[in-house]
């Protein structure tokens, strides 16, 4: 593997260089709230590699919350239809992606592009993308990626991977695109001693995880087994369902949740003009599976909650993602107004096992 070093003071040059060719996205601290958001950087200098984990995953870059996938114009008197697929194809670079968020994006990649049908809209966003990941040398309070095999260091899927070694960053190259960028920046080469230092940093990081991660570690796989085989009692799902506010927040902040709705909306630009919009949807909403005519096979909230945790924790979903659907970012636990973030659901199912 090719490795380089870059001085801390120079690390901004990576985003700067990418800014020539790409729209650059990265973690930035919002001045008013002090919260970190992963967003488009108008000024690449604002990207903060030591910022805490962003409140939002980078999902919206490849899978926008609302997106026009088609526009058409129909004329009922002349019986004509003109259709125009409408995909944005600006190349984008993600700088400072956390390993959990990268794992989430790999889930989406495999889900949208790796099955029988390729999702062309997603493909268009994804094919011209540059990814720079950032190893988590300090975990955050809600993190549990050590339980879901997605951190604290990224293993695959990046073009460049950065690791904070103290005075400098280790730059690992993961693709030809990455190698080309490293060459352009004429970085100093790194050696095995730096790799050993990275391992030390990662080990330190793992040792710093909060109890929730350490306690749950051995249990996630047991719970996955239970959820897959259906050996979770109905009253556990009901207990979980009772705490669901049906707000959809967990699905929107989840790096791997990708359910969407499609609606044709008349466009006021001209008579007979309409846009087909694809928007995020959430399995927690009552209307999610309601059919025309009103029949809803999944009316009780626990049936719908059950579905989300099935997506995150079952082997049959793993076959689509080639890894667990949960990436351990902990955002669902952060936003849930009830108390059913994923780590807690693991705890509830675990309680059933241990009695």
Please identify which residue in the block is written with the tokens 């996955």: 224
- CB under 8 A: which stretch of 93-101, 189-197, 313-321, 343-351 binds other proteins? 313-321
d(CA 205, CA 151): 10
Q: Which stretch binds other proteins (CB under 8 A): 11-19, 82-90, 144-152, 241-249?
A: 82-90
Does residue 270 belong to the site contacting other proteins (CB under 8 A)?
Answer: no
Is residue 275 close enough to count as binding other proteins by CB under 8 A? no
| 85 touches other proteins (CB under 8 A) | yes
**Binding of other proteins at residue 70 (CB under 8 A)?**
yes
When binding is defined by CB under 8 A, the residue of 32, 34, 230, 355 that contacts other proteins is: 230
The yes or no reply on residue 39 touching other proteins (CB under 8 A) is: no
Contacts of 310 (CB under 8 A, 6+ apart): 227, 317
43-to-23, 26, 38, 222, 305 alpha-carbon distances in Å: 10, 10, 13, 46, 40
User: What is the four-CA torsion angle of 241, 247, 253, 256, rounded to 10 degrees?
Assistant: 50
Residues 341 and 150: their CA atoms lie apart, in Å, by 18
Q: Which of 177, 222, 307, 350 binds other proteins (CB under 8 A)?
A: 307
Helix 301-313 and helix 342-354, axial crossing angle in degrees, nearest 10:
90
Q: Does 247 bind other proteins (CB under 8 A)?
A: no
Q: How far is the CB of 73 from other proteins (least distance, A)?
A: 9
Binding mask 111-130 for other proteins (x = CB under 8 A): xx--xxxxxxx-xx------
Enumerate residues 155-214 that contact other proteins by CB under 8 A.
none
Among 98, 200, 208, 84, smallest CA distance to 157 is for: 98
266 binds other proteins (CB under 8 A): yes
Which residue in the set 32, 34, 166, 293 belongs to the binding site for other proteins (CB under 8 A)? 293
Candidate residues 5, 69, 129, 247; the one interacting with other proteins per rule CB under 8 A? 69
* Sheet strands side by side (includes 66-75): 80-85, 66-75, 273-280, 260-266
Of residues 256 and 344, the one with the C-beta less far from other proteins: 256
Q: Which three-class secondary structure state does DSSP give residue 115?
A: coil
Q: Applying CB under 8 A, does 72 fall inside the site for other proteins?
A: yes
Closer residue to other proteins, CB minimum distance, 43 or 75: 75
62 binds other proteins (CB under 8 A): no
Residue 93: phi and psi, rounded to 5, are -120, 135
Written as six digits, the tokens of 44 are: 């690449």
Per CB under 8 A, the segment of 1-9, 78-86, 131-139, 194-202 that binds other proteins is 78-86
SS3 at position 273? strand
Grouping H, G, I as helix, E, B as strand and the rest as coil, residue 260 is strand
In the complex, least distance from residue 292 CB atom to other proteins, rounded to whole angstroms: 3
| Nearer to other proteins among residue 85 and residue 337 (C-beta) | 85
236 binds other proteins (CB under 8 A): no
Cβ(232)–Cβ(352) under 8 Å?
A: yes
- Provide the Cα torsion 111, 115, 121, 124; round to 10°: 90
To other proteins, the closest distance from the beta carbon of 335 in angstroms equals 21
Q: How far apart are the first and last CA of the chain?
A: 48
Does position 260 interact with other proteins (CB under 8 A)? The reply is: yes
- Total residues contacting other proteins by CB under 8 A comes to 50
By the criterion CB under 8 A, which residues form the site for other proteins? 69-70, 72, 74, 76, 79-81, 83, 85, 87, 111-112, 115-121, 123-124, 230, 258-264, 266, 272, 274, 281, 283, 288-293, 297-298, 303, 307, 310-311, 314, 316-317
């Amino acid at each position: 593997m090719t490795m380089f070093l870059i001085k801390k003071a120079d690390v901004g040059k990576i985003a700067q260089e990418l800014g020539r060719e790409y729209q650059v996205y990265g973690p930035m601290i919002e001045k008013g709230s002090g919260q970190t958001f992963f967003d488009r950087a108008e000024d690449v200098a604002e990207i903060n590699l030591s910022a805490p984990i962003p409140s939002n995953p980078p999902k919206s870059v490849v899978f926008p919350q609302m997106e026009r996938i088609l526009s058409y114009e129909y004329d009922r008197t002349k019986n004509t239809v003109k259709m125009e697929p409408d995909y944005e194809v600006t190349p984008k670079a993600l700088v400072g992606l956390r390993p959990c968020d990268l794992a989430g994006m790999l889930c989406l990649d495999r889900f949208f592009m790796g099955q029988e049908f390729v999702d062309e809209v997603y493909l268009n966003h994804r094919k011209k993308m540059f990814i720079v990941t950032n190893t988590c040398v300090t975990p955050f309070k809600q993190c549990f990626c050590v339980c879901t095999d997605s951190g604290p260091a990224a293993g695959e899927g990046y073009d460049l991977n950065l690791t904070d070694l103290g005075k400098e960053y280790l730059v690992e190259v993961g693709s030809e695109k990455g190698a080309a960028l490293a060459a352009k920046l004429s970085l100093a080469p790194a050696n095995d001693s730096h790799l050993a230092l990275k391992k030390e940093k990662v080990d330190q990081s793992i040792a710093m995880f909060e109890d929730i991660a350490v306690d749950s570690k051995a249990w996630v796989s047991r719970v996955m087994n239970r959820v897959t085989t259906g050996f979770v009692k109905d009253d556990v799902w009901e207990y979980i369902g009772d705490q669901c506010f049906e707000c959809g927040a967990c699905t929107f902040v989840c790096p791997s949740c990708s359910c969407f709705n499609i609606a044709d909306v008349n466009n006021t630009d001209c008579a007979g003009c309409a846009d087909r919009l694809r928007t995020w949807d959430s399995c927690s909403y009552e209307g999610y599976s309601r059919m025309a005519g009103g029949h809803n096979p999944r009316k009780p909230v626990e049936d719908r909650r059950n579905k989300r945790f099935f997506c995150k924790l079952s082997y049959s979903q793993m076959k689509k993602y080639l890894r667990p659907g949960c990436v351990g970012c902990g955002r669902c636990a952060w936003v849930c107004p009830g108390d059913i973030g994923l780590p807690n659901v693991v705890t509830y199912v675990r309680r059933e096992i241990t009695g």
